[in-house]
C-alpha cells in the first residue's frame, strides 16, 4: 500500500463537472475553457452548466434567473437569529452557522432526490450572497438591504452590500469573478462536501463542511491574506525589501503564489489580472495593481513561482468596495455552485469515501498496569 501526503495526485473519483491541466495551465467547466466562459457567459449560465452538464437555452436561463431572484430573501427566522450574533463574529463563522441553520427551514432538507437537491442548490446560490451582505450590515448596526427582483446574482450582491445600484462595469466584473471561482475539481472544500454527502447526510451538512474547509488560510482565506500583504507593502519601492524579508525567513511564504496543481500561472489569474488593471485605470488609483505586478515580476524572477487565483482577486474585490474580511465569503458565494454540483454528482453514483492511513506509530506494544508505568 502506497501513500501520498495530502493525497497529492491521487485520483479519488470521477467527475464530469470540471477538469484542469496543471502543466498547461488550463481549466474547463463541462469541457468549456474558463477563458471563453469569463469572456462570454453570465454566472447564472455557469451555474446551469455545472448543475446540468450543458449551457442553458434562453428559456431555461430565464427560468433559472427568475427562480434565483425568488429565492434570494433570507427567512425571517434566520435573519432574527443573525441579529443575535456578536458584532465581533468572523464572517465565515457567521456564514457557516447560517447555512447550517437554513436546513431547518427548508422543506426539502431531508429529501435527497435529484430534484429536491437541485432546488436546494438554487436556494443556497441565491441566499448566500444575501447572508453575507446582511451580516455585514447587522454587525455595523444597520438594517439589511433586501435584494431586488430585477438584478442578477452579481448585481444583487453589490446592491445589497452598498445600497446603490452598481454600474454595468462593476456588475460585469463581479459576475466574472463569480464565474472564475465557481468550481475547481476536487479541491479541499469540494472534497469535504463529497465526503460528507457520501454518508447520505444532506445538502446543508455537506455545504457547511465545505464552508468550514474554505475558511482556512491555505484555501479560500488566502485572498484576505494577500490584501493585507499589499497594505503592508504600501508602495512599489517597498516591494523588493518586503518580499526579500519574507523569503529570508524560514518557512516564509508570499501569499497568493504557488498552487497544489498548477505548475504555470493559474488560468484564472490571467482573467483577474485583466480586471484588476481595468478597475485600477477606471478608478484612477492604480497603486495596488502596480504593487501586485511588481511582486509577480519579482517572484517569477527569483523563485519561478506564479500567482494563483487569490493574488489578483484581492485587488478586484477591494476596488469593488468589498470589505477585506468578506473576500472569503464571496469565494463561497461563487463556489457553492460547484459544491452543490459535486454533491449531486456524488449522490448519483455514491459510495462512502473511506481512505486508509499509513501507520507510522510504535509496534509490539502491550498494556502495562497503571502502577507499573
Count Cβ atoms within 10 A of the Cβ of residue 32 and give its class: 0-12 exposed, 13-18 middle, 19 or more buried: middle
Report pLDDT digits (tens) over 30-68: 999 999 999 999 999 999 999 999 999 999 999 999 999
CB 271 within 8 A of CB 34: yes
Query: For this structure, is 137 an active site residue?
Result: no
Distance CA(260)–CA(73), nearest Å, equals 37
- Mean pLDDT of all residues in the chain? 93
Residue 88 phi/psi, 5-degree rounding, is: -85, -5
Helix, coil or strand: residue 59: helix
Per-position b or e across 106-123, b if 16+ CB within 10 A of its CB: bebbeebeeebbbbbbbb
Per-residue pLDDT of the chain (373 residues; tens, 9 = 90+): 566 666 766 777 899 999 999 899 999 999 999 999 999 999 999 999 999 999 999 999 999 999 999 999 999 999 999 999 998 999 999 999 999 999 999 999 999 999 999 999 999 999 999 999 999 999 999 999 999 999 999 999 999 999 999 999 999 999 999 999 999 999 999 999 999 999 999 999 999 999 999 998 888 888 888 999 999 999 999 999 999 999 888 878 898 898 878 889 999 999 999 999 998 888 888 889 999 999 999 999 989 999 988 899 999 999 999 999 999 999 999 999 999 999 999 999 999 999 888 899 999 999 999 999 9
Q: How far apart are CA 299 and CA 283, in angstroms?
A: 27
Whether the CB-CB separation of 226 and 355 falls below 8 Å is answered with no
Q: Which residues pair with 28 in a beta bridge?
A: 19, 33
Neighbouring-strand partners of residue 29: 18, 32
Q: Which of 106, 310, 318, 342 is catalytic?
A: 310
- Reported as half-sphere exposure (CB side, CA atoms, 13 A), residue 60 has a value of 11
Alpha helices in the chain (DSSP H): 34-40, 43-52, 58-70, 76-82, 91-102, 114-139, 153-162, 168-180, 188-197, 203-214, 222-233, 239-247, 267-283, 287-303, 309-319, 327-348
What pairing do the DSSP bridges indicate for beta strands 18-21 and 26-29?
A: antiparallel
Q: CB atoms < 10 A from the CB of 206, how many?
A: 26
Buried b (16+ CB within 10 A) or exposed e, 332-365: bbbbbbbbbbbbbbbbeeeeebeeeeeeeeeeee
- Catalytic, out of 259, 266, 318, 342: 259
* Alpha carbons 284 and 287: distance in angstroms, whole number: 9
Residue carrying C-alpha cell 495526485:
9
Is 259 tagged catalytic?
yes
Amino acid at each position: 500500500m502506497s501513500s501520498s501526503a495530502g493525497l497529492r495526485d491521487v485520483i479519488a473519483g470521477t467527475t464530469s463537472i470540471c477538469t484542469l491541466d496543471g502543466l498547461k495551465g488550463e481549466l474547463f467547466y463541462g469541457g468549456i475553457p474558463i477563458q471563453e466562459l469569463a469572456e462570454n457567459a453570465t454566472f447564472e449560465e455557469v451555474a446551469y452548466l455545472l448543475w446540468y452538464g450543458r449551457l442553458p437555452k434562453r428559456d431555461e436561463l430565464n427560468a433559472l434567473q427568475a427562480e434565483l431572484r425568488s429565492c434570494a430573501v433570507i427567512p425571517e427566522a434566520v435573519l432574527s437569529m443573525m441579529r443575535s450574533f456578536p458584532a465581533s463574529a468572523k464572517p465565515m463563522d457567521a456564514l457557516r452557522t447560517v447555512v447550517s441553520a437554513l436546513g431547518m427551514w427548508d422543506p426539502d432538507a431531508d429529501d435527497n432526490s435529484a430534484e429536491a437537491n437541485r432546488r436546494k442548490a438554487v436556494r443556497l446560490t441565491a441566499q448566500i450572497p444575501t447572508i453575507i451582505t446582511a451580516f455585514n450590515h447587522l454587525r455595523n448596526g444597520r438594517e439589511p438591504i433586501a435584494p431586488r427582483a430585477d438584478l442578477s446574482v452579481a448585481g444583487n450582491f453589490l446592491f445589497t452590500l452598498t445600497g446603490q445600484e452598481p454600474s454595468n462595469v462593476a456588475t460585469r466584473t463581479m459576475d466574472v469573478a463569480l464565474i472564475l471561482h465557481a468550481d475547481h475539481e476536487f479541491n479541499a472544500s469540494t472534497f469535504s462536501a463529497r465526503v460528507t454527502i457520501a454518508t447520505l447526510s444532506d445538502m446543508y451538512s455537506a455545504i457547511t463542511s465545505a464552508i468550514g474547509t474554505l475558511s482556512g488560510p491555505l484555501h479560500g482565506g488566502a485572498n484576505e491574506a494577500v490584501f493585507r500583504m499589499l497594505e503592508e507593502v504600501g508602495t512599489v519601492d517597498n516591494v523588493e525589501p518586503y518580499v526579500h524579508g519574507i523569503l529570508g525567513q524560514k518557512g516564509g511564504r508570499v501569499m497568493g503564489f504557488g498552487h497544489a496543481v498548477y505548475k504555470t500561472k493559474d488560468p484564472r489569474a490571467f482573467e483577474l489580472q485583466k480586471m484588476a488593471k481595468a478597475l485600477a485605470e477606471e478608478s484612477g488609483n492604480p497603486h495596488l495593481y502596480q504593487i501586485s505586478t511588481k511582486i509577480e515580476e519579482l517572484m517569477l524572477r527569483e523563485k519561478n513561482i506564479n500567482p494563483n487565483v487569490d493574488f489578483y482577486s484581492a485587488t478586484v474585490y477591494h476596488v469593488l468596495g468589498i470589505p477585506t474580511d468578506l473576500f472569503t465569503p464571496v469565494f463561497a458565494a461563487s463556489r457553492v455552485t460547484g459544491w452543490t454540483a459535486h454533491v449531486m454528482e456524488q449522490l448519483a453514483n455514491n459510495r462512502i469515501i473511506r481512505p486508509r492511513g499509513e501507520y507510522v506509530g510504535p509496534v509490539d506494544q502491550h498494556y502495562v498496569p497503571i502502577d507499573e508505568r
